[in-house]
Amino acid sequence: MPADDAPSSPLASALGRVGDRWSLLIVDALLDGPLRYGELQQAVSGIATNMLAQRLRHLEAQRVVVAEPYSRRPARYSYDLTATGRSLAGALRLLAEWGAQGGGGATARHRLCGTPMEVRWYCPTCDLLAGEEPEEPIFV
């Protein structure tokens, strides 16, 4: 990538890889496991077939999605997330929660007891939640 085209920040880099509506909805649909093309089209409501094909190719090129053939003649594929793709789950949950707070739907709830879930910044080394430490965290 030429220096002029280099992302200006880590967020810009992430958005360049998966930062459009359809890509995020495809990743979300695949979080529950692999889907065939037709199943993906049903899971991502409103996406046109050409747009789905284009986004899947882009996500494959970014190593977010992998296509596994299940039929050679005709060529048909099942799509699944790579480890990189699965690592987007937390970010998608945060976006969904943010959307729910703005009136865009129901908040995530704990499956066992039904309590609304909370997202918190946590340091596993110090065993502290952000805000419990004496100073604000430094992002490096």
What CATH number should be reported for the domain holding residue 41? Answer: 1.10.10.10
* DSSP conformation class of 102: I
Element (H, E) at 78: strand 76-81
Residue 94 confidence (pLDDT): 83
* Residue 83: pLDDT band with limits 50, 70, 90: very high
Domain range for 46 is: 3-104
How many structural domains does the chain have?
Answer: 1
In a domain, 134, yes or no: no
Write b or e for each residue in 53-86: b if 16 or more Cβ atoms lie within 10 A of its Cβ, otherwise e.
Answer: eebbebbeeeebbbbeeeeeeeeebbbebeeebe
In a domain, 136, yes or no: no
Q: What is the pLDDT of residues 112-126, one digit of tens each?
A: 898 887 777 778 888
CB 5 within 8 A of CB 44: no
Percent of the chain with pLDDT over 70: 86
Say how many Å lie between the first and final Cα of the chain, rounded. Answer: 24
Averaged over 96-118, what is the pLDDT? 77
User: Global pTM?
Assistant: 0.73
In a domain, 65, yes or no: yes
In a domain, 112, yes or no: no
Q: What is the pLDDT of residues 27-65, one digit of tens each?
A: 999 999 999 999 999 999 999 999 999 999 999 999 999
In a domain, 56, yes or no: yes
Residue 114 confidence (pLDDT): 86
In a domain, 32, yes or no: yes
In a domain, 133, yes or no: no
Spatial separation of the C-alpha atoms in residues 52 and 104, rounded to whole Å: 24
pLDDT at 7 over 70: no
In a domain, 62, yes or no: yes
CB count in 10 Å sphere of residue 14: 13
